[in-house]
Amino acid sequence: MGRVHSSLSNDEDREAFFDTASAHSQQKMKSHFQEGGSVEFHFRKSLVDLVIGELLFHQDDVDGISHERALALFAAVGEKGASTVGEASSTAGYVVRVKNRRKFNLLVQFIACGSAFRQASQQMECVKLETGLGEYGGCTDTMAANYARVVCAQSLQLSQRLE
């Protein structure tokens, strides 16, 4: 880098060189992972109630705690778009708010590659340790299963629009 810098003839060329050199640091992996952002998914009531709430569970587990925990991710939304705490029958639909988009995307990619939920959550811990970015930690197999439900619901909803 020193040879290249000394061969530049004027200050403008040197300034342009260093502007380009600093761009390389912006292209490093860590800078891309720092902006996670959140994402919201909106679902029709019938899709969540029937498909996610009933079909994706074993008949014996429908009234269990795991069923409640899985559906807790889907927040009921009233007619005017406000979240409701009441019965599901008074809702117009559901919304899922994911706080960290990059964490969601990476975890879903691990699952899409064939990882089991527990394995995907452990892979996320490995990513956290390797990159030094704490935002990738704290994944559980329950979180992986919930994210998979969100992707299933989103895919089903999009496929219904194609018909």
Q: How does DSSP assign 122-156, residue by residue?
A: HHHHHHHHHH--GGG----HHHHHHHHHHHHHHHH
- Write down the pLDDT at residue 85: 46
Could you report the per-residue pLDDT of 55-89, keeping only the tens digit for each?
666 566 556 667 777 788 899 997 655 554 444 45
Total number of domains in the chain: 2
Rounded CA-CA distance 104/135 in Å is 11
43 and 29 belong to one structural domain:
no
| Residues 58 and 96 placed together within one structural domain of the fold | yes
Could you identify the residue written with the tokens 């530049």? 8
Where in the sequence is the domain holding 28, given as residue range(s)?
1-33
Q: In whole numbers, what is the pLDDT of the chain averaged over residues?
A: 78
In this prediction, residues 139-156 reach a mean pLDDT of: 92
The residues with which 97 forms a beta bridge, in sequence order, are 40
Under a CB-based contact definition with an 8 Å cutoff, are residues 41 and 98 in contact? yes
Clarify whether residues 23 and 63 are in a common domain: no
Relative to beta strand 39-44, strand 75-77 is unpaired
The reported pTM is 0.68
What is the pLDDT, as a whole number, of residue 52? Answer: 78
| pLDDT (0 to 100) of residue 86 | 44
